[in-house]
Every structure is written in C-alpha cells, then in structure tokens.
Structure 1
C-alpha cells in the first residue's frame, strides 16, 4: 500500500511539474525592435526604409524548444528618410496604407540549432494576402536585462527575402524594378511577470 501511495505521489508531482512548465510570455520591446526593408534600384543603389511602429507578443519555451510569435506592423509608419518617398510607398500604388493599415507576421514554429533559435517559420500578411515566410536568425540570445531589473530579454537579428509580387505589389515591375525585397527584423522581447 505504501509503495502504491509513493508511486501515486510521484506521478502527481510529475504531472504538476509538466503542467506548470509552459512557454513564458514576452512583450516586444519597441525601442529594440525594428523592421526594415531593402530593394534594388536598377542595379545601381539600394532603397531602404523601416517601419517605426510595431507591436506584438512572443511565447517562448527554451527547454521544450517551442515558440509562437505575433507581430503587427503599422504600414503608415514607413520611414525612408525622405518624406516624398515615404508618402509614395504609403499610397494606393504601393502599400495602400489607408486600405491595408497593418502587415502581420504570425508563427507557431521555431527551429533550433542546439539551444539557439535558427529560424522562425510563419505566415506574413501584406496587402490582405498571406504567404509563408521563414525568418532566418543571424543572431539569437537571451540575457538578464540590467536596465529592467534583470528581467529575461530574448531576441535576435532575423532576415528573409520575399517576392513582393506574391502580395500583389507590382508597381514598377514593367520598368525593371526588382521584385525581391529583403526584410531585416531586429527584435527583442521582455519576459512578462
């Protein structure tokens, strides 16, 4: 009887540990998170810009090597450093920010290389169209943030190349503008209490 009780207690303890070991919630730190783009300009230069407003959440479990991401980007916050160019990108000819105010990346699949995140596989929505996108990690790390009372902060530098025409973003294709756009995502997220 005593052995059965001890076995039952051990199972209950393990079940309790298993149910409490969950992915932790992290909030995107907008001061350390940037979404930028690069696109070739007639093989001569590279046009660059960034989106200044973004928000989102991350669920991350290093032990289980799992995670989820949901990031929204305010399309009207595009900033190229040149007002006229930024306004043109916001227009109906290109990103149509009035009709499609948000772009969004959602993922439920993290790919690990050892203990480090190597890729985040998900879906990217732009101009109302959703396509698969894999963000490849150039860097990834978690650290006790000294500026936030040592709260765990995780993040990295990620990149992907998308075909903009897959989203219906065809402006300038007939003139020879490039269709491939390089996205660079620098992200840090702070563990929530």
Structure 2
C-alpha cells in the first residue's frame, strides 16, 4: 500500500511539473522593436549616445509561475551613433575590440514580478569577453495581442547602469571620461 501511495505521489508530482512547463511560452525577439542604446557623459558637456542595430534572442516566460529566461545578443559591428568615424573608433581595439569580441550578450534568468508585470530581470552581461552580473529594471512592461501578427507580443523598456571598466572598456578614464554607462533596452518579443 505504501509503495502504491509513493507511486501515486510521484506521478502527481510529475504531472504537476508537466503542467507548469506547459505554461512556459517561448517568444522570439522582434528586431524591428528591440534596441539597446547606451549613454555616456562627455566631459560634463554633453552625452554621447548610440545603439546596436543587429540583435537576436529569445524570451521564455511563465506568467503563472512568475519565472522566465531571456537571451539577447547584440552585434558590436552594428554600433550606430550617427557618426561613422565614431562608430569605427568604438569598434576598435581601444574600446569594444569588435574584431576579437564581435558580440555582447545578456542572459537573464531571475525575473521579479509585481502582479502580472515584470519589474526587473537579473542575470549576466558579457561585454568584451568579460561577464558581470546586471539587473535591468523595467520602466514599463505589457503583453498584448498584435492585430498585425495575430499573436501575443510581450515587451518592455528596461534600463541599467554599468561600470564599463569591469568589462575592460577603460578608454578615456585616464583623461576624465566617466566609468558609468546607462543602457536602455527596449524589447518586444513575439510568442512562437
């Protein structure tokens, strides 16, 4: 009798796990609505801004369990500041060294929710071959039924501030450029 009860309990646990996994949905990043931009002060006079035009990734989201995972990869060679010579300098060995490190990546697997809304995603950010923890806080987050795609789309506007020297991006600090860089990531992903 005891073995039968243990077997039933094990089957119930497996069934519950299967139901929980079935609620995890996979979303593909929509590149036309996803960008990572960065801002860094320029000697206290202005702010330099740029973005990465090529990106890819996926989001797994279980709204009921309030869990998820996001993987985003950005092509360093697609950096766009609106000034081609500045883009080339950013891609050079002085700064991002795109020849050796062609991508930057964020993998986040710690989602924090407030009700049904994601309020932050924590994980690991890799730039120039160095990985550091990072938390992106959501300024806004929502899911909606796209009338054009006829599928659910989830997305948000997230931001964090990093110390670029932790990633080996030290250029200019010796002559007064700040270490802190603000990253804003607007992300929308389409349910698959």
TM-score with structure 2 length normalisation?
0.91
Root-mean-square deviation (CA), in Å? 1.8
TM-score with structure 1 length normalisation?
0.91
Spell out, residue by residue over 1:25-65, the C-alpha distance to the aligned partner (whole angstroms, 9 max, x if none). Answer: 11000000000000000011000000000000110011110
1:13, 1:131 → 2: CA distance? 39
Give the CA deviation at 1:15. 5.5
1:52, 1:187 → 2: CA distance? 13
In structure 1, the residue matched to 2:4 is none
Spell out, residue by residue over 1:144-188, the C-alpha distance to the aligned partner (whole angstroms, 9 max, x if none). Answer: 011101x11001000000000001111000110011000000000
In structure 1, the residue matched to 2:184 is 184
How many residues align? The count is 184
Trace 1:41-190 onto structure 2 (pairs within 5 A). Answer: 41-149=42-150, 151-190=151-190
Give the CA deviation at 1:16. 4.0
Runs of 4+ in 1 over 3 A off after TM superposition: 11-18
Higher deviation after alignment, 107-116 or 74-83: 107-116
Tell me, what secondary structure is at the counterpart of 2:158? Answer: strand
Give the CA deviation at 1:125. 0.3
User: Is structure 2 residue 31 aligned with structure 1 residue 30?
Assistant: yes
Give the CA deviation at 1:114. 1.6
Spell out, residue by residue over 1:118-165, the C-alpha distance to the aligned partner (whole angstroms, 9 max, x if none). Answer: 00001000010000000000000000011101x110010000000000
In structure 1, the residue matched to 2:20 is 21
1:173, 1:13 → 2: CA distance? 58
Gaps of at least 5 residues in structure 1 are 1-7
Tell me, what secondary structure is at the counterpart of 1:187? Answer: strand
Gaps of at least 5 residues in structure 2 are 1-7
Give the CA deviation at 1:21. 3.3
